[in-house]
Amino acid sequence: MPTATDPATLTDVQRQIVDLAREFAQTRIAPHAAEWDRTAHYPRDVIDELGRLGFLGMLAPEDYDGQGLDALTYLLALEEIAAADASVAVTMAIQNAIPTTMLTRHGTPAQKKRWLRPMARGELVAGFALSEPDAGSDAASLRSQAVRDGDGWVLNGAKAWATNGGTADLMMVMVRSDTPERRRGAKGISTFIVPTSTAGYRAGKPEDKMGLRASNTTAVTLDDLRLPGDALLGEEGMGFVYALEGLDAGRLGIAIQAVGIARRALELSISYCAERRQFGMALRDFQAVQFKLADMATRVAAARALAHQVAARKDRGESTTQHAAMAKLFASETAMWVTTQAVQLFGGYGYMRDYPVEKLFRDAKVTEIYEGTSEIQRIVIARGLAAGS
């Protein structure tokens, strides 16, 4: 498949994992993706199967029943899932990146045993709740509050647009733990491990979204939600730092989600332009169409290469903050551009729900918004430049 990663560059293990991911994506996800999109159906059974195959614990350590794989192998598998359906891919991306990174780096052995192990086995689905109705890009201005209560805590507040807010078993929730008398800005935020079965955790109705319609996105209300002391992750006041670390890993996943969407749009466009005839010729015989396809293929390959380069940095243990922002920025804008070209190449059919490219166009848009908008990625990159990195 000339549009995907060249298999010759992969190790035997990577090839096996990609083959497994592609087989699963093409048999269990792709045939149903249009229907799930139309009915906004969240396929928990398929997510559970993905978990049983190890795809929800790819980056979790082997000591806690994870696969302990490198970031590149994770990206290779995630691209296959995203090319079949971006909604399924977002659950895989979030679980592997944000809650897994937070618990692996900052969880106590007891927290890891209790939460990370079942997550890595795919028995628990986890999400994260940082955004609030009035705190999106400026997430450090969040207002949800945790107050000490004996050995434990009581949480109150409102979270916005949490992926899997109504379907996760566990949420990593960022709230303030400083006091109104002594506000500490970003240093007043802590992370709590919140089982969604806890009394006082209330998910709103699933949001009616433009794209990514088979993923569950909800507001979450924290209403006198009581937690034991061991629900605090790591150090009090470090929650925003943990969220940013998680987002570094998360943005790399979103970059490859965008590559998967764009690659699918490219593959469909190549096939369509071979079949569709106008003026007595296949569309692909027009040089203007060939140039469009060439530009699409070039941008997809460049977006993938950038993401893989960031994965290599991550695997070497280097900082990826600035580079993950670059990968997400470039890949998400590529996905939006490539899917726009795909709709154009399909003409009137491209605008119809019966054809798959309009879904890809709608799914692509969110990659420019969540885990930091394109503007926020540019701010992160520019900050890195100013700091000389």
Ligand X SMILES: Cc1cc2nc3c(=O)[nH]c(=O)nc-3n(C[C@H](O)[C@H](O)[C@H](O)COP(=O)(O)OP(=O)(O)OC[C@H]3O[C@@H](n4cnc5c(N)ncnc54)[C@H](O)[C@@H]3O)c2cc1C
Would you please indicate which residues are annotated as catalytic (active-site) residues?
A: 371
Please report whether residue 250 would count as binding ligand X according to CB under 6 A.
no
Please report whether residue 131 would count as binding ligand X according to CB under 6 A.
yes
Please report whether residue 196 would count as binding ligand X according to CB under 6 A.
no
Write down the least CB distance from residue 141 to ligand X, Å.
10
- Residue whose CB is less far from ligand X, 136 or 234: 136
- Of the candidates 73, 87, 95, 163, which one interacts with ligand X according to CB under 6 A? 163
Write down the least CB distance from residue 358 to ligand X, Å.
18
- Residue whose CB is less far from ligand X, 64 or 370: 370
Please report, as residue ranges, which positions from 347 to 366 form the binding site for ligand X (by CB under 6 A). 366
The C-alpha atoms of residue 237 and residue 344 are separated, in whole angstroms, by 49
The C-alpha atoms of residue 198 and residue 128 are separated, in whole angstroms, by 15
Residue 173's contacts (CB-CB under 8 Å, 6 or more residues apart) are 128, 129, 144, 155, 159, 191, 192, 194, 220, 222
User: Could you tell me if 276 and 351 are in contact, meaning their C-beta atoms sit under 8 angstroms apart?
Assistant: no
Q: What is the CA radius of gyration of the chain?
A: 21
- Residue whose CB is less far from ligand X, 212 or 338: 212
Residue 180's contacts (CB-CB under 8 Å, 6 or more residues apart) are none
Please report whether residue 136 would count as binding ligand X according to CB under 6 A.
yes
The C-alpha atoms of residue 127 and residue 124 are separated, in whole angstroms, by 10
- Of the candidates 51, 157, 188, 372, which one interacts with ligand X according to CB under 6 A? 372
DSSP-derived secondary structure letter, 205: P
Nearest to 152 by CA among 70, 205, 227, 206: 227
Please report whether residue 367 would count as binding ligand X according to CB under 6 A.
no
- Of the candidates 84, 126, 162, 256, which one interacts with ligand X according to CB under 6 A? 162
Count of beta carbons in the 10 Å neighbourhood of residue 302: 14
Please report whether residue 375 would count as binding ligand X according to CB under 6 A.
yes
Using DSSP's 3-state secondary structure scheme, residue 369 falls into coil
- Residue whose CB is less far from ligand X, 119 or 296: 119
Write down the least CB distance from residue 145 to ligand X, Å.
17
Residues 215-244, mask of contacts with ligand X (x by CB under 6 A): --x---------------------------
- From the list 5-13, 28-36, 283-291, 372-380, the region that binds ligand X by CB under 6 A is 372-380
Please report whether residue 145 would count as binding ligand X according to CB under 6 A.
no
DSSP assignment string, 230-248: GGEESSTT-HHHHHHHHHH
Per rule CB under 6 A, count of chain residues that contact ligand X = 21
The C-alpha atoms of residue 22 and residue 223 are separated, in whole angstroms, by 42
Please report, as residue ranges, which positions from 279 to 338 form the binding site for ligand X (by CB under 6 A). none
Beta bridge partners of 195: 170
Please report whether residue 373 would count as binding ligand X according to CB under 6 A.
yes
Tokens of 368: 């420019």
**At 93, which helix (H) or strand (E)?**
helix 86-106
- Residue whose CB is less far from ligand X, 161 or 192: 161
**Helix intervals (H) in 107-194:** 109-111, 117-120
Please state, in angstroms and as integers, the Cα–Cα distance from residue 360 to each residue in 214, 296, 307, 367, following that order. Answer: 13, 14, 20, 11
- Residue whose CB is less far from ligand X, 81 or 266: 81
* Amino acid in the structure at residue 172: M
Write down the least CB distance from residue 13 to ligand X, Å.
30
- Of the candidates 65, 364, 370, 381, which one interacts with ligand X according to CB under 6 A? 370
Residues 101-130, mask of contacts with ligand X (x by CB under 6 A): --------------------------xxxx
Residues that bind ligand X (CB under 6 A): 127-131, 136-137, 161-163, 209, 212, 217, 366, 369-373, 375-376
